[in-house]
Amino acid sequence: MTLTGAAALLILVLTYAGVAIGRIPGLRLDRAGIALLGGAAMIAIGALSMEDAYRAINFDTITLLLGMMIVVAHLKVSGAFRGLGAIAIEHAHAPFMLLVMVTLLTGVLSAFLVNDAICLVMAPIVVHVTRVINRNPIPYLIATATASNCGSVATITGNPQNMVIGALSGISYPAFSAALAPVALFGLVAVIVIVRIVYRTEFTRNGELTPHISRGRMHRGQVLKAVVVCIGLAIAFFAGVPVAKAALIGGAILLLTRAIKPSRIYREIDGPLLFMFAGLFVVVAGAEKTLLTSDMIASAKNIGLDDVWRLSGFTAVLSNIMSNVPAVLALRPFIPGLENPERAWLVVAMSSTLAGNFTLLGSVANLIVAEQSKSAGTPLSFGAFFKVGLPLTLITLAFGTAWLAMMS
C-alpha cells in the first residue's frame, strides 16, 4: 500500500468512527464538521484533486434533500402539519385507535416527506395529546419513531439514505415504490401489533377519549398552496420527472409568498446534514480511488453479497455500527458489480432503514422523538424502546428480505 493509500485509509476510518460516535473527544466538531474535515483531508493528501472532489459530490442528492426540506418547512410553518394531526387524532376515541392514528399518520407522511422532519412535528403533538387525556405517552412516542422509519421505506423521498440510493442507482420513483411500499405497509401493521402487545396494560385500561389539539394559527392560503405543490410533486415523481428537479422547483415555488418570511423557512433547513453529505461523498471517493482495486470490488461476490439475505444482514449490522447514510455510501462501490444491482440497492435501502428501529440510537428520527420526549418531562428510555425495537426490526427485516428475494 502506498503512503497516500495508508493516509486515505486512516482518514476513512477516523471519519467514519467520528460520524458514528457523533463527536471527537476534546473537540467541538459535530458529524457535519467531521465529514467536512475528512473530505478536506482527502484533498490535502492528494487522494483527490479539487476537480475530483467536486465531481464526487452527488448534487442530485443534495438538491433533492434541500428541495424537500423547503417543502416540509413550509408545511410546518404554515400550520398544515398541526391541522392535519388535529383532524386525525381528534377522531381517535379509544387508546388503540389513538395508536392506529398516530402510526398511520406518521408512516404515511414519512413515506412522502423526510421522516426526521415528520418526527419533529409529530412528537410534540403526541406528548400534548397524551398529557391532556392522561395517558402514558411512551407507547405512542415509540410508535411515532418506529412508524416514521417503517413508512419512509416506501419511497425515494422518505429519508436521506433513500435519496442517496435513488441518485446513485438510477431506479425510478415508481419502481422504487412498487418494490418497497408493501414492506412499508407491513412495517406499519407490525408497529401497531407489537406496541399493542408490549404495552398491553395501556390498551386494556380502556375508556372514551376526547383528545383535543390546539391548532394554533394557520395560514390557510399557504396551506392550500403547499398542498397543491405536494400533489404536483407526487404526480411529477410518479410521472418520471427527475426527483431532484421536481423537488427544487416545488420548493422554490413555495418561497413565493407574502405571508411567511423566508428566514422562517431557512431556519428549518438542516444545513449541517447537507454539509455532512458533501463531506462523506468526498471521503468515500478518496478511499475508492486510492484503496479499492477491481479485485477488491469483485470480492463482494466472494463474500456472498449477491445473496439477498446476506446483503440484508450485512447492511443492517453496518447501519447500526456507523449509521445508515455512511453505511450506504460505504457499500456504494460494491453494489454495481453484483449480479442484480437494482435489487441489491433496494435491499440496502430497506435494510438500512428498518435497522434504525433496532435501538434508540439507530436513527436520527428515534433521537428526535427521544429529545422531544425528554424536554416534555417524559423521558423515553433505551430499554423501553428496545422492547419494541428488537422484535419489530427482526420481523420487518425478515419480511422485507423475503419479499425482495422473490424479485427476479
Q: How is residue 298 written as a grid cell?
A: 469483485
Residue 260: strand, helix, or coil? coil
The chain-wide mean pLDDT, for the chain, equals: 88
Exposed, middle or buried, 134 (CB in 10 Å: 0-12/13-18/19+)?
A: exposed
pLDDT-derived band at 82 (thresholds 50, 70, 90) equals: confident
Q: Which residue from 364, 354, 352, 353 is spatially nearest to 315, judged by alpha carbons? A: 352
247-289: per-residue pLDDT in tens? 999 999 998 887 788 888 888 888 888 999 899 999 999 988 8
% of the chain residues with pLDDT over 70: 92
CA distances to 68, 188, 401 from 107, in Å: 17, 7, 20
- Dist. CA 198–CA 97, nearest whole Å: 16
Question: pLDDT per residue over 46-79, tens digit each?
Answer: 999 999 999 999 999 999 999 999 998 888 888 8
Cβ atoms of 170 and 240 within 8 Å: the answer is: no
Question: In 3-state terms, what secondary structure has residue 231?
Answer: helix
Query: What is the rounded distance in angstroms from the CA atom of residue 397 to the CA atom of residue 352?
Result: 10
Q: What is the pTM of this model?
A: 0.86
Q: Three-state DSSP class for 29?
A: coil
Calpha distance 213→129 (Å, rounded): 7
| Residue 108 dihedral angles phi and psi, to the nearest 5° | -65, -45
**Residue 231: predicted pLDDT:** 92
| Confidence category of residue 405, pLDDT binned at 50, 70, 90 | very high
Residue 41, φ and ψ in degrees, nearest 5: -65, -40
**What is the structure's pLDDT at 323?**
82
pLDDT confidence bin for 104, thresholds 50/70/90: very high
Q: Is the pLDDT of residue 297 over 70?
A: no
Look at residue 108 in the predicted model and tell me its pLDDT: 94
The runs of H, that is alpha helices, within 79-114 are: 80-89, 95-112
Band of pLDDT at residue 344, cut at 50, 70 and 90: very high
CA separation for the pair 334, 315 (Å, rounded) = 12
Pull the grid cell for residue 286: 478518496
Query: Helices 243-254 and 220-239 sit at what angle, rounded to 10 degrees?
Result: 170
Instruction: Please say if the pLDDT value at position 334 is more than 70.
Output: yes
Work out the angle between the directed axes of helices 341-354 and 324-331 (0-180°, nearest 10): 160
Residue pair 278/36 in contact by the 8 Å Cβ criterion: yes
Determine how many CB atoms are found less than 10 A away from the CB of residue 59: 14
Do the Cβ atoms of 247 and 157 come closer than 8 Å?
Answer: yes
pLDDT of residue 315: 94
Picking from 374, 314, 325, 387, the residue whose alpha carbon sits closest to that of residue 347 is 314
Alpha-carbon distance of 404 to 312, in angstroms, equals 10
In this predicted structure, what is the pLDDT of residue 134?
A: 78
* pLDDT band (50, 70, 90) for residue 351: very high
Which has more confidence, 319 or 129? 319
Taking the C-alpha atoms of residue 389 and residue 263, their distance in angstroms, rounded to an integer, is 38
Q: What is the pLDDT of residues 157-192, one digit of tens each?
A: 999 999 999 999 989 999 999 999 999 999 999 999
pLDDT in tens, 130-164: 887 778 889 999 999 999 999 999 999 999 999 99
- Angle (deg, nearest 10), helices 138-152 and 173-198: 160
pLDDT at 92: 66
Q: How far apart are CA 71 and CA 255, in angstroms?
A: 9
Q: Is the CB of residue 298 less than 8 Å from the CB of residue 337? A: yes
Query: Which residue do the cell numbers 426540506 mark?
Result: 69
Closest CA to 192 of 111, 260, 106: 106
Looking at mean pLDDT, say which of 88-102, 123-137, 378-392 comes out highest: 378-392
Compute the distance between CA of residue 160 and CA of residue 152 in angstroms, rounded to an integer: 10
- What are the grid coordinates assigned to 49, written together? 484533486
- Inter-residue contact 138 to 384 (CB < 8 Å): yes
CA distance 318 to 332: 13
| Residue 125 vs residue 197, higher pLDDT | 197
The CA distance from 155 to 237, in Å, is: 10
Q: Write the CA distances from 80 to 20, 59, 103, 221, 225, integer angstroms.
A: 34, 29, 18, 10, 10
- What pLDDT score does 298 carry? 66
Q: What is the pLDDT of residues 194-224, one digit of tens each?
A: 999 999 888 776 665 666 666 566 677 888 8
Q: How far is the first Cα of the chain from the last one, in angstroms, to the nearest whole number?
A: 39
